[in-house]
Amino acid sequence: AQTVTQSQPEMSVQEAETVTLSCTYDTSESDYYLFWYKQPPSRQMILVIRQEAYKQQNATENRFSVNFQKAAKSFSLKISDSQLGDAAMYFCAYYSNYQLIWGAGTKLIIKP
């Protein structure tokens, strides 16, 4: 069965610095999709970035980028120029064969 692991329950970063959140997954599939979601204190879940496993190029959305290592089954999220509004829970998720598997989340704290 597929699993998603976020090994960092909490991370903190100074405002304007760069932080990387880790995510690993376990699967025997070759075609799948990976997502990072953000849940701010309002608790609404917001899609941050999406990666298709067959694409070698890492996805980028403004200050957010991923380091997708398919062989290592790793999907980390890099946030550049961290802002106070980035403070949130971040969830990694894996999709294949009509299943969406979620990690336990990483709480990101931004220090002013």
Partner 1 sequence: SQTIHQWPATLVQPVGSPLSLECTVEGTSNPNLYWYRQAAGRGLQLLFYSVGIGQISSEVPQNLSASRPQDRQFILSSKKLLLSDSGFYLCAWSRRGLTYGYTFGSGTRLTVV
H/E segment holding residue 94: strand 88-96
Shortest Cβ distance from residue 17 to partner 1 (Å)?
25
User: Residues 52, 60, 61, 83: which binds partner 1 (CB under 8 A)?
Assistant: 52
Pattern 74-93, binding to partner 1, x per CB under 8 A? Answer: -----------------x-x
With beta carbons less than 8 A apart as the criterion, state whether 6 and 101 touch.
Answer: no
Measured CA distances, 82 to 36, 57, 87, 88, 95 (Å)? 16, 23, 9, 12, 28
Given 1, 30, 43, 71, the residue binding partner 1 (CB under 8 A): 43
Q: Which residues bind partner 1 (CB under 8 A)?
A: 33, 35, 37, 42-47, 50, 52, 91, 93, 95, 98, 100, 102-105
